[in-house]
């Protein structure tokens, strides 16, 4: 009965490869997010979707492409992986976007290592 | 540019004491501020939210203050326990309806028995 789940938990790959991370939430939330946490522990928003519609798209290389097949899923596809992409990627969800009460629920994270 | 600063040095305190963590921000007027807890190898967990027009919020042993003049929030854990040891993140959000949160880098708290 995990609220926000991500797969895989660990991902080790070579530079230049393409990889995907999957996220699912069973909370019935409308909004989902992708965050990147670097080695200095800064947690930075990358994307967010509200009911399958992209609403936040930070300055992220276009090698990163989110896809939301339905409001319970938000996947992240990364093309041509680079060393600097190594980080922990967190998926999160929240009930609504347009409210002040915007508690976010985070997944366990995916540690991506690019060699 | 918008900046959020939390004390990057770890905070070490004795069990039973009150831990106080600081979050300062510049070039930003957040509508509300949130605090999260993050344990090693896990995702952040929401603790408390405080709005710009609120001075203080409490939840059990936790207390958050928000001073928009000083551009600062303080996070207190009273009667601290070793189980409170974790990294605590503050996050700011504007009044827009995007749900975007800007996080500080977190402060690691170590409570010694």
Residue ranges covered by each domain of chain A: 4-98
Decide if A48 and B98 are in contact by the 8 Å CB cutoff. Answer: yes
CA closest to A109 among chain B residues: B43
Task: Give residue A28's pLDDT.
Answer: 92
Which residues of chain A are under the pLDDT cut of 50?
none
Residues B31 and B49: their CA atoms lie apart, in Å, by 11
The domain over range A4-98 is classified in CATH as 3.40.50.720: no
The Cα–Cα gap between A104 and A83 comes to 29
Contacts of A33 in chain B (CB under 8 A): 99
DSSP-derived 3-state class of residue A62? coil
**B49 touches B36 (CB < 8 A):** no
Percent of chain B at pLDDT above 90?
A: 73
**Beta pairing partners, B104:** none
Give the pLDDT of residue A77. Answer: 97
Identify from B99, B106, B107, B108 which residue to disrupt to test chain A contact, counting A C-beta atoms within 10 A and taking the largest count. B99
A106/B45 touch (CB, cutoff 8 Å), yes or no: yes
Confidence of residue B61 (pLDDT cuts 50, 70, 90): very high
Asked if residue B3 has pLDDT above 80, the reply is: yes
**Out of A31, A101, A106, closest to residue B44 by CB:** A106
Architecture label for domain B3-96+103-112: Sandwich (2.60)
Q: How many residues does chain A have?
A: 115
Number of other CB atoms surrounding residue A58 within 10 Å? 14
Among B70, B31, B92, B85, residue whose Cα is nearest residue A43: B92
The pLDDT assigned to A102 comes to 74
Overall average pLDDT of the B49-70 stretch? 93
How confident is the prediction for chain B on average, in pLDDT?
Answer: 91
User: What was the pLDDT predicted at A78?
Assistant: 96
Residue A66 sits at the chain B interface (C-beta within 8 Å) = no
Does A59 lie at the interface with B, CB-CB under 8 angstroms? no
The widest CA-to-CA distance across chain A, in whole angstroms, is 42
Model pLDDT, residue B32: 86
Q: What is the pLDDT of residue B11?
A: 94
| Mean pLDDT value of segment B19-40 | 91
């Amino acid at each position: 009965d995990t609220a926000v789940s991500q797969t895989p938990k660990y991902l080790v790959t070579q530079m230049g490869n393409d990889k995907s991370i999957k996220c699912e939430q069973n909370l019935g939330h409308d909004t989902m997010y992708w965050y990147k946490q670097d080695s200095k522990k800064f947690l930075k928003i990358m994307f967010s979707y509200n009911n399958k519609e992209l609403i936040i798209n930070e300055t992220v290389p276009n090698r990163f492409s989110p896809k939301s097949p339905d409001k319970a899923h938000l996947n992240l596809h990364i093309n041509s992986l680079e060393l600097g992409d190594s980080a922990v990627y967190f998926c999160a969800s929240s009930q609504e976007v347009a409210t002040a009460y915007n508690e976010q629920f985070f997944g366990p994270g995916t540690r991506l290592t690019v060699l | 540019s918008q900046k959020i600063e939390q004390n990057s040095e770890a905070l070490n305190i004795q069990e039973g004491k009150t831990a106080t963590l600081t979050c300062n921000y510049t070039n930003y007027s957040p509508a509300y501020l949130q605090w999260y807890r993050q344990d090693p190898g896990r995702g952040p967990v929401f603790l408390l939210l405080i709005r710009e027009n609120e001075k203080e919020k409490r939840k059990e042993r936790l207390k958050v203050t928000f001073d928009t003049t000083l551009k600062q929030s303080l996070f207190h854990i009273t009667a601290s326990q070793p189980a409170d040891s974790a990294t605590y993140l503050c996050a700011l959000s504007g009044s827009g309806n995007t749900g975007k949160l800007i996080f500080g880098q977190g402060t690691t708290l170590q409570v010694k028995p």
